[in-house]
Chain A
Amino acid sequence: MSGPWEAVIGLEIHVQLATRTKMFCGCDLSFGDPPNTHTCPVCLAHPGALPVVNREAIRLGILAGLALGCSVPPACEFHRKNYFYPDNPKAYQISQYDAPLCVGGRVAVLLPDGRDLEVGITRAHLEEDAAKLVHLGAGGRRAGAEASGVDFNRGGTPLLEIVTEPDLRSAADAGAFLRQLRQTLRALGVSDVNMEEGSLRADANVSVRQAGERALGTKTELKNMNSFRFLERGIDAELARQTALLEAGGRVVQETLHFDPDAGEIHSLRSKEEAHDYRYFPEPDLVPLAPDQAWVEELRASLPELPVARRGRWYELGLTYEDAEVLSETAELGEYFEQVAELAEPKAAANWIRGELRAQLREAGQEPWESRVTPALLAELIGLREDGTLSEPGAKEVLAEVVRTGASPAAVVEQRGLGQISDDGELTALVERLLADNPDQAEQLRGGKDKLVGYFVGQAMKATGGRADPARVGQLVREKAAG
Chain B
Amino acid sequence: MSALHELTAEQGVAALHAGEASAAEMVDAALARVEDDRWGSFLAVDAEGARGRAREIDALAERPPLAGVPIAIKDALSTRDLTTTAGSRILEGFRPVYTATCVERLERAGAVVIGKTNMDEFAMGSSTENSAYQLTRNPWDGGRVPGGSSGGSAAAVAAYQAPWALGSDTGGSIRQPAALCGIVGMKPTYGAVSRSGLIAFASSLDQVGPFARTVRDAALLLSHIVGRDELDSTSLDWPEPIAVPEATDLEGVRVGVVDELMGDGVEPGVRAAVDAALARIEGLGGSVERVSLATTEHGVATYYLIAPAECSSNLARFDGIRYGPRFDDARDLLEHYEVTRGEGFGPEVKRRVMLGTFALASGYYDAYYLRAQKVRTLIRRDFDAAFERVDVLVSPTSPTTAFRIGERVQDPLAMYLSDVCTIPSSLAGLPSLSIPCGLSDGLPVGLQLAGAAFSENRLLSVAHALEAAIGFDPRPPGVL
Chain A residues in the interface with B (C-beta under 8 A): 41, 44-53, 80, 82, 84, 86, 89-92, 150, 272-273, 277, 279, 281, 284-287
Contacts and interface: CB of A to CB of B under 8 A. Distances in A.
Nearest to A285: B203
A47 B77 CA distance: 9
A46 B310 contact: no
Contacts of A48: 77-78, 96, 100, 195-200
B362 A277 contact: yes
Interface in B341-393: 357, 360-362, 365, 369
Contacts of B196: 48-50
Given A48-B77, A48-B78, A287-B233, A92 B316 contact: yes
B233 A47 contact: no
Given A82-B313, A279-B360, A47 B319 contact: no
Contacts of B334: 272-273
Interface string B268-297: 000000000000000000000000000000
Q: Would you call the interface of chain B mostly helix, strand, loop, or mixed?
A: loop
A273 B77 CA distance: 35
Contact of A46 (B97, B232, B233): B97
A277 B337 CA distance: 17
A84 B199 contact: no
Contact of A41 (B97, B312, B357, B362): B97
Contacts of A279: 312-313, 357, 360-362, 365
B111 interface: no
A91 B319 contact: yes
B433 to A, nearest CB: 24
B316 A84 contact: yes
Contact of B361 (A44, A91, A273, A277): A277
B234 interface: yes
Nearest to B91: A47
Given A90-B316, A150-B321, A50 B333 contact: no
Given A48-B100, A49-B196, A82 B316 contact: yes
Nearest to B232: A50
Q: Would you call the interface of chain A mostly helix, strand, loop, or mixed?
A: loop
B59 interface: no
Given A41-B98, A279-B361, A279-B362, A50 B231 contact: yes
Contacts of A92: 313, 316
Q: Which 3 residue pairs are nearest across A and B when measured between Cβ atoms?
A: A91-B316, A284-B203, A279-B360
B97 A90 contact: no
A86 B84 CA distance: 23
Nearest to B333: A86
A125 B319 CA distance: 28
B360 A89 contact: no
A258 to B, nearest CB: 18
Nearest to B369: A281
B323 interface: yes
A45 B317 contact: yes
B233 A281 contact: no
Contacts of A82: 312-313, 316, 360
A153 to B, nearest CB: 14
Given A48-B77, A86-B321, A80 B313 contact: yes
Interface string B113-157: 000000000000000000000000000000000000000000000
B78 A53 contact: no
Interface in B168-205: 195-200, 202-204
B405 interface: no
B166 interface: no
B132 to A, nearest CB: 15
Contacts of B56: none
A150 B336 CA distance: 15
B331 interface: no
23 contacts: A41-B98, A46-B98, A47-B78, A47-B84, A48-B77, A48-B96, A49-B196, A50-B196, A50-B233, A82-B360, A84-B316, A86-B321, A91-B313, A91-B319, A92-B313, A273-B334, A279-B312, A279-B362, A284-B202, A284-B203, A284-B310, A286-B233, A287-B233
A285 B198 contact: no
A284 B97 CA distance: 24
Contacts of A45: 317, 322
Contact of A281 (B313, B317, B321): B313
A279 B369 CA distance: 11
Contact of B96 (A47, A86, A91, A284): A47
Contacts of B323: 46
Interface string B382-415: 0000000000000000000000000000000000
Nearest to B196: A50
B46 interface: no
Contacts of A47: 78, 84, 86, 91, 94, 96, 199-200, 317-318
B309 interface: yes
B331 to A, nearest CB: 13
A353 B76 CA distance: 65
A20 to B, nearest CB: 17
Contacts of B96: 41, 46-48
Nearest to B203: A284
Contact of B234 (A80, A150, A287): A287
B222 to A, nearest CB: 20
Contacts of A46: 78, 96-98, 322-323
